[in-house]
Amino acid sequence: MMDLSDVPLVDHHAHPLSRPEATADAAGFRRWFTESTDPDVHVQHVPQTLFFQTAVRWLAELLDCEPTLEDVLAARAARPYHAWVQTLFKDANIGLVLCDYGYGGDLAYGHDEMKALLPCPVRPLLRLETLAQELIVEQETFDAMVDAFVATVDRSRTDGYVALKSIAAYRTGLAIGRPDRDEADAAFVPLKEEARRSGRVRLASKPLVDYLLWQAVAQASRQELPLQFHTGFGDRDADLRHANPIHLRAFIEETRTPLVLLHAGWPFYREAAHLAALYPHVWLDVSLAIPLATAGIPNMLGDILGMAPFSKILFATDAFTMPEMFWLAARWGRWGLGQVLQQFVQEGFLSAEEAWRAAWVMLGENARSLYGLRREY
Ligand SMILES: [Zn+2]
């Protein structure tokens, strides 16, 4: 068995932790083990998942308690939160986190708090649709909003961001069109009215999302900033018919900006692997599918690694809210990758040295190189 626990993970896509009270009781803890937002699923069915049952068993081993939810909750609550976070991150051997603060809610920690909590460096990602929503509220006209959007994206590298990120897949789909300025302006009007009425806005207007994406990718290209795209599952909002990464082909063909397809496009990971194999500027991230696919992870990785270059695959946790999620994702990911690479060696496809090299690049080196992080970690 190939044990990859000594290979550090560069977690290039994750979200902030929440204050411990958010996950202190059984209901607050269980609900993060599923993509579902339905309380019946959280109560009735999450405890019947492989992911949850294994998590309780593994955490009980780490906490040295009985493998029941009640004992795990009590044992983690007995530890100072900061120390528990440090234990999990060090055990998971996570060396660096790139964090998207656009998801998290009221109890989520901010960037300075995350830097103080984690035993490793944390760098921020800029979520484009969240930025656009804020600017629609702040700015009075379409022109002023677009100018402010372009200016913010334009200085994102200077402001410390290491990549941009889009959730177009969950809002308006990945078949990104070419709306002109007038179409985008017309789409802005009702959103601005909504913003005036309620003080907030949810951007789900296709002409505007697509128009702003083209503006953003032009700025990303100038700064050599990668752009992360959510693909496949990852949000209760997602209509998977529009989140298949194959819809991105026209967009991919019109830019040379590095594009990262998040979540392996699950369940469309073969399509995502194909795109990563075909285009020099497309990378494939396997987070969220790892850990949620659990026992199915080696099958998925077998398909992906059988097709796409090792130099194009990135591991991450997509963890959020609970420090345990970072630890669980890292553990499932190293287990699945170890299984697949071990099999490649046993079959005589790879030498042991080549398998180790592949693990090293996918768990960290590819991300360090793609995001220009070599010097700091
Ligand atoms: Zn995410």
Q: What is the pLDDT of residues 319-369, one digit of tens each?
A: 999 999 999 999 999 999 999 999 999 999 999 999 999 999 999 999 999
More confident residue, 365 or 374: 365
pLDDT at 377 over 70: no
Q: Give the mean pLDDT of 159-165.
A: 96
Taking the centre of ligand 1 as the mean of its atom positions, its distance from the CA of residue 13, in whole angstroms, is 6
Is residue 201 within 8 A of residue 145, CB to CB? The reply is no
Taking the centre of ligand 1 as the mean of its atom positions, its distance from the CA of residue 301, in whole angstroms, is 19
Taking the centre of ligand 1 as the mean of its atom positions, its distance from the CA of residue 131, in whole angstroms, is 16
Q: What is the pLDDT of residue 188?
A: 97
Give the residue among 272, 266, 228 at the shortest CA–CA distance from 247.
Answer: 272
Token pair recorded at residue 292: 């949620």
- CATH fold, domain 81-100+124-370, is TIM Barrel (3.20.20)
Which H, E and C letters describe 35-69, residue by residue?
CCCCHHHHHHHHHHCHHHHHHHHHHHHHHCCCCCH
Angle, in degrees to the nearest 10, between helices 69-77 and 50-63 = 50
Q: What is the pLDDT of residues 111-154, one digit of tens each?
A: 999 999 999 999 999 999 999 999 999 999 999 999 999 999 99
Taking the centre of ligand 1 as the mean of its atom positions, its distance from the CA of residue 306, in whole angstroms, is 25
Q: What is the pLDDT of residue 315?
A: 98
Taking the centre of ligand 1 as the mean of its atom positions, its distance from the CA of residue 346, in whole angstroms, is 34
Taking the centre of ligand 1 as the mean of its atom positions, its distance from the CA of residue 352, in whole angstroms, is 33
Q: What is the pLDDT of residues 243-254, one digit of tens each?
A: 999 999 999 999
pLDDT at 283 over 70: yes
Q: What is the pLDDT of residue 104?
A: 74
pLDDT at 72 over 70: yes
pLDDT at 239 over 90: no
List the chain domain ranges. Answer: 81-100+124-370
Taking the centre of ligand 1 as the mean of its atom positions, its distance from the CA of residue 176, in whole angstroms, is 20
pLDDT at 376 over 70: no
Q: What is the pLDDT of residues 219-233, one digit of tens each?
A: 999 888 999 999 998
CA angle at 14 for the pair 10 and 15, rounded to the nearest 5°: 145
Is residue 161 within 8 A of residue 118, CB to CB? The reply is no
Q: What is the pLDDT of residues 84-104, one digit of tens each?
A: 999 999 999 999 999 999 877
Q: What is the pLDDT of residue 267?
A: 96
Rounded to an integer, what distance in angstroms lies between the CA atom of residue 183 and that of residue 211? 9
Taking the centre of ligand 1 as the mean of its atom positions, its distance from the CA of residue 348, in whole angstroms, is 36
Q: What is the pLDDT of residue 234?
A: 86
